[in-house]
A = this chain, B = another copy of it.
Amino acid sequence: MTYYSFLTAECLVLWRRKQDVFNALMFFVIVIALFPIGINSSPEFLAPAAAGIIWCAAVLAILMAVEGMFKEDYRDGSLEQLVVSGLSLPLLILLKVAAQWFVVVLPLLIIMPLLSEMLYLPRSGFWVLMMTLLLGTPSLFLIGVMGAALTVSLRQGAVLVMLLILPLYLPVIIFATLAVQAAQIGLPYAGLLAMLSALSLLFLVISPFIAAIAVKASVN
> Which residues of B lie under 8 Å from residue A40 when comparing CB positions?
48-49, 52
**Interface 9-mer from A16-24, A107-115, A121-129:** A16-24
Most buried by B among A61, A64, A159: A159
Any chain B CB within 8 A of the CB of A9?
no
Please encode chain A, from 11 to 35, with 1 for each CB lying within 8 Å of some chain B CB and 0 for all others. Answer: 0000001011011101100110111
Q: How far is the CB of A74 from chain B (nearest CB, A)?
A: 11
Residues of B within 8 A of A162 (CB): 19, 23, 26-27, 30-31
Check B160–A39 contact: CB distance below 8 A. Answer: no
* Interface pair A59/B34, CB less than 8 Å apart: yes
Q: Which residue of B lies closest to A39 (CB)?
A: B52
The answer to whether A30 and B163 have CB atoms under 8 Å apart is yes
Provide the residues of chain B in CB contact with A71, threshold 8 Å.
155
Does any Cβ of B come within 8 Å of A68's Cβ? yes
- Check A163 against B23 for contact (C-beta < 8 Å): yes
- Partner of A159 from B19, B37, B159 at Cβ < 8 Å: B19
Majority secondary structure of chain A interface residues (helix, strand, loop or mixed): helix
A56 part of interface (Cβ distance < 8 Å): yes
When chains A and B are docked, how far (Å) is the Cα of A133 from the Cα of B75?
35
Is the CB–CB distance between B174 and A23 below 8 Å?
A: no
Task: Name A59's closest neighbour in chain B (CB-CB).
Answer: B34
- Pair B53/A159 contact, Cβ less than 8 Å: no
A117 within 8 A of B: no
Does B64 contact A52, Cβ atoms closer than 8 Å? Answer: no
Question: Assuming the A-B contacts A48-B39, A56-B38, are A155 and B17 also in contact, with contact meaning beta carbons closer than 8 angstroms in the complex?
Answer: yes
Decide: B23 and A159 in contact? CB cutoff 8 A: yes
Closest to A25 in B: B159
User: What residues on B are CB-neighbors of A51 within 8 Å?
Assistant: 38
Residue pair B20, A160 in contact (C-beta under 8 Å):
yes
Given A30-B169, A38-B56, 5 more pairs with CB closer than 8 A: A33-B170, A34-B52, A34-B166, A34-B169, A39-B53
